Amino acid sequence: MDKLTIRDIDVAGKTVLVRVDFNVPRDKDTGEITDDNRVVAALPTINYLLDHNPKAVVLFSHLGKIKKEEDKAKNDMAVVAPKLAELLGRDVKFVNATRGAELEEAVKNAENGQVILVQNTRYEAGETKNDPELGAYWASLGDVFVEDAFGSVHRAHASTVGIAAHLPAVAGFLVEKEIAYIGKAVSDPERPLVAILGGSKVSSKIGVIENLLNKADKVMICGAMAYTFFKAQGLEVGKSKCEPDFVDYAKGLLEKANGKIILPVDVVTVTVSDEDCAADFFGAISKAETRVASVNDIKPEEQGLDCGPKTIALFAKELEGAKTVVWNGPAGVFEVEKFAVGTKAICETLANLKGATTIIGGGDSAAAAISMGYEKKFTHISTGGGASLEYLEGKALPGVTCLSDVK
């Protein structure tokens, strides 16, 4: 990486501002944290800084979406402070403010590496607009800025980009690791490079498909987005998710792919009424009888929800010998166990690939792999869904480009 990292700076006696990603999932009824992976991912950077005698480590993060005033109460960063203190094994001072005397005094009076967690950055309306005044204000609190929120580096916000305009700005270990793994996978991979792209929409992954078709040796398409490709081949897709506006685009991709695109050959279908789906989609498909259908035998009343056994075998065979695999997007509706078979099979195949670098590009595929117990079986699981996608597209990430260059 051609950017400076925390190894390149002296933080002794300094106030270090760190953008972390503590946008953790919480129980909608109790508000308790249900998955602390993002907090855990920040620990190497925080602990490294603490080991190098800073005056203070001041942590900034957003939590949830703040669209109206009442959203603030349910996205209060206070919920993270005790979890962080527990994981660090030391006191964390939570400041219930994003600006003003309370925050300024906490930073001014900090000593001996005090860890300070600032209230949700999105409490400030100027955060998502990258308000120059807000970025300058936050920067005035510290001496150096560390970017370690990979899940947010694709956004040009005041806390990800604005602070960096006023201070020496370097990458933390998480950002460095993400850029190293994903960057190498798309720019200098050990070959064969195989991309697995799933999820629901072709439209959300156009850039990724285009970029990876140029770079990968094979691109395997699965999940709901496969049905748009089936439609492009003139096949019946029934009530399966399909994007009619992107059928011609998918047809064009198939024509120029030179056989690189590998599609499912069979799928698991159900027949459920539109009314039942609208009322309770997961409940309706959970109760429905399933049928394994060849992709050229989907009935008009059916919808496909997972890969079939022949596809699982095909994908496993196509992955044999791969040296780099990048996966983004599940193979089916993995939230319902009987439609998680395809996604689990991909996890299992990748977990047993010998001598391969296996990377999950965040999002639902990462959530699926972790929930199924495969977290330790991959070379790297990205913490940033949107950031990973944009990086896989070949786009510049604002929260990285703003960092100080290696000279």
Known catalytic residues are: 38, 201, 363, 386
In the beta sheet, which residues pair with residue 5? 171
Rounded Cα distance between 63 and 78, Å, is 10
- Cα 236 to Cα 38, 254, 272, 291, 306: the distances in Å are 42, 17, 17, 16, 16
Question: Residue 212: which of 313, 354, 325 has the closest Cα?
Answer: 325
Cα-Cα-Cα-Cα dihedral sign, residues 124, 129, 130, 131: negative
Cα-Cα-Cα-Cα dihedral sign, residues 279, 280, 281, 285: negative
Rounded Cα distance between 41 and 45, Å, is 9
DSSP letters spanning 28-77: TTT--BS--HHHHHHHHHHHHHHTT--SEEEEE---S--SSTTHHHHT-G
**Which amino acid makes up residue 267?**
V
What's the gap between Cα 91 and its chain centre?
A: 29
- 158 DSSP 8-state letter: I
- Pairing state between β 193-197 and 324-328: parallel
How is residue 263 written in tokens? Answer: 């599609």
- R_g (Cα) of the chain, nearest Å: 23
Number of C-alpha atoms within 13 angstroms, CB side, residue 227? 28
> Which phi and psi angles does 71 have, rounded to 5°?
-70, -20
Rounded Cα distance between 139 and 135, Å, is 6
What's the gap between Cα 186 and its chain centre?
A: 17
How is residue 44 written in tokens? Answer: 């190497």
> Which phi and psi angles does 288 have, rounded to 5°?
-75, 150
Rounded Cα distance between 364 and 342, Å, is 14
**Which amino acid makes up residue 305?**
L
